[in-house]
Amino acid sequence: MLKVEGLNAGYGAVQVLWDVGFHVEDGEIIAILGGNGAGKTTAVRAVTGLIRPMSGSVQLDGVELCGKKSRAILDAGIVQVPEGRQLFTEMTVYENLELGAFSPAAKARLPESLKECYGYFPRLAERVGQAAGTLSGGEQQMVAVARALIGLPKLLILDEPSLGLAPNVVDDILEVAYGMAKRQGLSVILVEQDVTKALGTADRGYVIENGRVALSGTAEELRTNEHVKRAYLGI
Ligand code: ATP
């Protein structure tokens, strides 16, 4: 469903990504792995149009999106949960969730989508009227994921969901993403520094080092790869 090829991208004249390529199928979860500053976030920013790639191709279901504006890419069905969540902290949980329904289809389905999200994250149902800024970090991440799902994405991008959160909250979030992928065919890109967690959830993964894809394979292949074990799993 998503096919990225020959992606070169960066900031101003500084190139960060070199000839990056990866693909995601319907209902598949891929992990994009790598250390600090490897270029993972830059890769997803290039996919979502937050930065304009220098060159390359980003195709969703055969439609070229490279160079399109982020709004057009969102409308095409690619929704990102950004690193750091970016909620409207003064607004209530409900108001934040409502903002996820940006398309007519998502607006029409909002009551059902909300019910589903409260099912996935019961804690949100108890806090609908509370200002989002007063929630715990884990609850805020749940709002961010729920808001993205309310947009009815074809492809959900989770950028560092484990950042600063308790492991059980991260597990809950990954479980929801896994369920949506396997039951409803949602495709997921999981950007993670926590390689153990990422490979525990993903079907396949790509390791980015110095802005290039250094390795790719199934989760099992990567878990047992000597370089991955040494560099990322500490074994
Ligand atoms: P982390 O896991 O630490 O977030 P990452 O793999 O996501 O790392 P990126 O955020 O993609 O890494 O950063 C890759 C490189 O691009 C880094 O050298 C970083 O300093 C640089 N970079 C990121 N954002 C910008 C920006 N807005 N302007 C200039 N350089 C940037």
| pLDDT given at position 84 | 64
Q: Is the CB of 37 under 6 A from ligand 1?
A: yes
State the average pLDDT over residues 212-221.
98
Q: Parallel, antiparallel, or unpaired for β 187-192 and 63-64? A: unpaired
Residue whose Cα lies nearest atom 19 of ligand 1: it is 37
55 burial level (CB within 10 Å; 0-12, 13-18, 19+) = exposed
Strands across the sheet with 55-60, in order?
A: 14-24, 2-11, 55-60, 63-64
pLDDT per position as a tens digit, 189-210? 999 988 999 999 999 999 999 9
Q: For the chain, what are the domain ranges?
A: 2-231
pLDDT per position as a tens digit, 16-69? 999 999 999 999 999 999 999 999 999 999 999 999 999 999 999 999 999 999
Mutate to test the pocket of ligand 1, among 7, 15, 42, 47 (most ligand atoms within 8 A of CB): 42
CA dihedral 5, 6, 10, 12 (to 10 degrees): -120
Q: Which residues contact 111 (CB under 8 A, 6 or more apart)?
A: none
Q: Is the CB of 201 under 6 A from ligand 1?
A: no
pLDDT per position as a tens digit, 73-85? 999 999 999 766 6
pLDDT value at 181 more than 80 = yes
State the average pLDDT over residues 107-132.
95
| pLDDT given at position 108 | 97
| pLDDT given at position 38 | 95
User: In the chain, pLDDT over 70 holds for what percent of residues?
Assistant: 99
CATH superfamily of 2-231: P-loop containing nucleotide triphosphate hydrolases (3.40.50.300)
Cα(198) to ligand 1 centroid in Å equals 20
Residue whose Cα lies nearest atom 8 of ligand 1: it is 37
Q: Is the CB of 84 under 6 A from ligand 1?
A: no
Cα(230) to ligand 1 centroid in Å equals 23
Cα(38) to ligand 1 centroid in Å equals 7
Q: Is the CB of 165 under 6 A from ligand 1?
A: no
State the average pLDDT over residues 114-139.
94
Q: Is the CB of 162 under 6 A from ligand 1?
A: no
Q: Residue 143 — very low, low, confident or very high, per pLDDT cuts 50/70/90?
A: very high
Strands across the sheet with 212-218, in order?
A: 78-81, 155-159, 187-192, 29-33, 204-209, 212-218
Phi, psi of 45 (to 5 degrees): -65, -35
